[in-house]
Amino acid sequence: MQKYNENFMIIALKEALVSYKNNDVPVGCLIAKNDEIISTAHNTQNSLNIATNHAELSAINKACKKLCTNNLSDCVMYVTLEPCIMCLGAIINAKIKTIYIGATSSDNGAIISRYPLVKDELIYPYKIDYYFKKTISPYILKRFFRNIRKGEK
């Protein structure tokens, strides 16, 4: 397992801020291999009107293309918000086994929170190591949704 690299989470948070500025849910993702950044992405679901444009899916797709493989088992994911069920499916298909999470998601989280699916060996027979790392990500998300409720963008 690759050790936690705080600089990688900071880069993922910067990606989340790009989403925030574009009125997308502020989620950023980074995939690394051997302490080298392979891909970064941010959520573009609202700005591009594509329901599946989550940061994790975009980062996985970029990493697969760059490495010329769909097997990312030697890679680590840094993501500012706990992945949803759809993104967990992509993580499983890409065989990513280590995930660092900046904020949990009580609404849609599929790793720690709402649907802790990685604990079900029938869904994913390999162990996924996930680590919650306290970041400013929850603050960014709360501010984004507070502004949405107020009608601000």
Residues classed as catalytic: 56
Give CA 58 to chain center in angstroms. Answer: 10
DSSP state of 130: E
How far apart CA 47 and CA 14 sit, in angstroms, is 17
Structure tokens at 149: 């409720």
- Label residue 21 exposed, middle or buried (CB < 10 Å: 0-12, 13-18, 19+): exposed
